[in-house]
Amino acid sequence: MKKSLFTKLMSTNFIVLLISYCLVAVFLSLWFNNYYYNQRIRALVNEGKNLNQVVEEYINGEVDEKSLKFELSVIDRFLGARIYVVDRYGVVFGYSGDEEDQVMGKQLTNVEIDEVRSGNIVINRGTFIERLSSPTLTVGIPIIINNQVQSGVFLHTSMDEIKDTVDKVYFIIWMAAFFAIIISAIILYYFSNRILIKPLGKINHTAKAIASGEFDKRVNLVSDDEIGDLALSFNYMADSLQNLERMRRDFISNVSHELRSPMTSINGFIVGILDGTIPQEKWSYYIEIVHGETKRLIRLINDLLDLGRLESGEFSLRIENFDINELIRERVIKFEDRIEKKEVEMDVTLVGNRLKVKGDRDRIDQVITNLLDNAIKFVPQNGEIKIRTEIKQDRVLVSVYNNGAGIPKEEIQYIWDRFHKVDKARTKGGGTGLGLSIARQIINQHNQNIWVESGEIGTKFIFTLGIV
């Protein structure tokens, strides 16, 4: 079964919470256990030392047995500990409990008593004597009088009582950990769902809508974090897809239009010849028109193929060193008939006699041809065309200018689009509208730049090449 991101996130975080709080609870439990036992031992040791003066007074006859019993009983009730006072031979002469007849005067013999008689403080967990066969915490304190061990005090507290207290604290710690895990899981669920899962759900829903063709859908999400950045990036991608879809439709529409026009003309003239509508003496004239339309179709298809290869990166350039000035002169000569027909004034200003650049000569020839063809097409009768080369740093700038009507500002951003024609009436039956798109792709393949500068009068196209 496929698990959702939310399930994975909650499972992972819950496990992390569970392990973390359990480790904290275990640490606190161990710490409190040691802390409580140590505090208990210190309390017993301190009270045992405090009994030194009372026992000394009792031995010296300054207080009676009743007073000693009272002091031992107070400490017994305060600490919850049974107290035995023994002499240097282990005979009990002081007891805090009520079973005095069973304890008083009895001699105790064990290792702890021997240790206390040696002047050492004894701390032991376990059984002490037969009467205290259940586990106890025992603290033995030597009573020193005149720098000699005269007797000893043993304080016993039940381990079960200590364990009960510790267990209560354990219960509180683990219940706190349990509720902390539950509350943390609820908070994590709420914020994960609000901050991450719901926004991702919106993005996913919008992505599916766009995938189904609803390119106008956008993610309405404002957040100052990575999710917000993702939403912005997603909307940017959606804008790009919408533009690509628009361009695709425009491309299909434009290609259909460009193909339909010559095909309609060719079909009409051929049908006219076949059915006799066009007399035989005019066949050659209309066949020439058909030939021209056929060449136009071939040029359109070749341009489309070139543009497709350039955009897909399948086209490889043959980079070499060549003379850009020589190439420009050859292109001007090629268009000499059209230039003379329009009586255009040509102004060609080139840097030096020879100017070596790096690039694919044939493709740069195609760029110059397209730019010069457009310049001649849009320059007015008796107009002016200027071609310049100049050097700036490590690049050569090539510019082609004509003093015809400028490109409207609202059109400049679209002139590099396929099939876009600024003046459709003037270009009817002329170019394919692919020349500038091809030129830009060629220059981009050279890792160079191409741009346009245009005002109310005059338009200049400039592109760069690497200088040798």
**In this predicted structure, which of 70-79, 103-112, 232-241, 429-438 has the lowest mean pLDDT?**
429-438
Residues 14 and 78 placed together within one structural domain of the fold? yes
Q: Give the model confidence (pLDDT) of 416-426 as tens digits.
A: 776 655 554 34
Residues 303 and 254 placed together within one structural domain of the fold? yes
Residue-number span of the structural domain to which 12 is assigned? 5-164
Q: Hey, what's the torsion of the CAs at 406, 411, 417, 418, to 10 degrees?
A: -70
Distance in angstroms between the alpha carbons of the first and the last residue of the chain: 64
Q: Residue 60 burial by CB count (10 A; 0-12/13-18/19+): exposed, middle or buried?
A: exposed
Q: What angle do CA 30, 34, 39 make, to 5 degrees?
A: 145
Mean pLDDT score of the chain? 82
Residues 21 and 70 placed together within one structural domain of the fold? yes
**405 is a domain residue:** yes
Our measurement of the distance from residue 334's CA atom to the centroid of its chain's CA atoms, rounded to an integer in Å, reads 57
Q: Give the model confidence (pLDDT) of 351-401 as tens digits.
A: 988 999 999 998 899 899 889 988 998 899 999 999 999 999 889 999 999
8 Å CB contact between 85 and 55 = yes
3-state DSSP call for residue 220? coil
Q: Answer yes or no: is pLDDT of 122 > 90.
A: no
Share of the chain above pLDDT 70, in %: 89
Q: Answer yes or no: is pLDDT of 427 > 70.
A: no
**99 is a domain residue:** yes
Q: Residue 169 burial by CB count (10 A; 0-12/13-18/19+): exposed, middle or buried?
A: middle
**In this predicted structure, which of 220-234, 284-298, 306-320 has the lowest mean pLDDT?**
306-320
Predicted confidence at residue 422, as pLDDT, reads 57
Residue 256: which CATH number? 1.10.287.130
Share of the chain above pLDDT 90, in %: 15
Q: Answer yes or no: is pLDDT of 326 > 70.
A: yes
Residues 263 and 403 placed together within one structural domain of the fold? no
Predicted confidence at residue 426, as pLDDT, reads 40
The most confident of the ranges 169-178, 208-217, 289-298, 417-426 is: 169-178
Residues 110 and 47 placed together within one structural domain of the fold? yes
Compute CA distances 232 → 7, 203, 208, 239, 387, whole Å: 26, 10, 17, 10, 45
Tally Cβ neighbours within 10 Å of residue 387. 21
**Domain count along the chain:** 3
DSSP-H helix ranges across 275-384: 283-312, 324-334, 336-341, 361-378
**192 is a domain residue:** no
Tally Cβ neighbours within 10 Å of residue 119. 12
